[in-house]
Amino acid sequence: MSNAEKYLKPQVINQIKRLDLRAQFVVKGFLQGLHASPFHGFSVEFSEHRRYAAGDDPKDLDWLVYAKTDRYYIKKFEAETNITGYLVLDLSESMGYTYRQELTKFDYAVSLAAALCYLMVHQQDPVGLVTFDEKVRAVLPPKSKRTQLGNVLSHLAKLRPSGPTDLGRSLQQFASMLRHRSLAMLFSDLLGPAEPVREALRRLRHQGHDVILFHVLDEAEVNFPFEGHIEFEDGETARTVVVDADQRRNDYRERVQAFRDAYKHECWRIGVDYVPLDTSMPFDKALMEYLLSRRARC
């Protein structure tokens, strides 16, 4: 049994397998849509070439292009434009919450991350892992080998969500680590001050990175199915409060919707893909719908 299968529940493994079968025709277009064009102002007939550099093998020179342009180009673009992906996962204690779903928010995020890792590796795109709470805790360097999925999941299997988070600070740390244009796939419940997060997202985009923000909430956090007087405890501070659930339900739902809408608007403004999710949604279906919508825009 692989590391992935030891960690992920059997139904999650089956969902990833189904997703792979259904997504093969989508994923290539999705990822290729993120690959930077190597030319600006050149004809598209050169789109599979790049400029010759010291150390390149002369046998890869395209002499037909040289004859047309009097410049040396290498037929290497297709092999060298793989985008580097990073799975950036929130480890704060609130991510370990579930009310009545089988998967916690952390489990759900891991399932999404595993599926995306699997799909990127199958596209031969390198993918790495970054975990954080109050700061970046661990980094697995990006690799495109088939064993990378097991490496990622075996690392995640050792982790338990705990303690507070500082998402804004962690994302700033992450942004300072990146040296090349990358795809950042962020998984978090975003429970914390919003402005530092928005500032970090703006920095990532200003640096030229693609960002997908998977906003993962528990089904109960979205729908508020509670009744009567309920005592709630903050997952990160342990503070408690008693509320009349029936009286607060509508106001709570409006606040959650406003919370999500504010992130959606800011992400749209700066060019970040915002994907609101809750743990009652089958993750393979949710991811497939997102990939389809992304491909349609590429």
Residue by residue, DSSP assigns 191-234 as: -S-HHHHHHHHHHHHHTT-EEEEEEEE-HHHHH----SEEEEE-
> How many other C-beta atoms can be found within 10 angstroms of the C-beta atom of residue 188?
26
Contact between 27 and 291 (Cβ < 8 Å) = yes
Please give the sequence-ordered ranges of beta strands (E in DSSP) within 133-272, or none if there are none: 136-143, 182-188, 210-217, 229-233, 240-244
- Which tokens belong to 39? 């030319």
Residue type, 51: R
Distance CA 23, CA 287 (A): 10
Buried b (16+ CB within 10 A) or exposed e, 46-85: bebbbebeeeeeeeebbeebeeeeeebbbebbeeebbbbb
From first to last of its 298 residues, the chain has per-residue pLDDT tens of: 444 555 566 666 666 666 554 455 455 555 555 554 433 333 333 345 667 666 666 766 777 777 777 777 666 544 445 689 999 999 999 999 999 998 899 989 988 888 888 888 877 889 999 999 999 999 999 998 988 988 888 888 788 898 899 999 999 999 999 988 899 999 999 999 999 999 999 999 999 999 999 999 999 999 999 999 888 877 667 788 898 989 999 999 999 999 999 999 999 999 999 999 999 998 878 887 887 777 666 5
The count of C-alpha atoms lying within 13 angstroms of the C-alpha of 15, restricted to the half-sphere facing its C-beta, is 21
pTM of the model: 0.78
Task: For CATH 3.40.50.410, list the domain ranges present in the chain.
Answer: 3-33+82-297
The fourth-level CATH superfamily of domain 3-33+82-297 is von Willebrand factor, type A domain (3.40.50.410)
- Return d(Cα 170, Cα 191) in angstroms, integer: 14
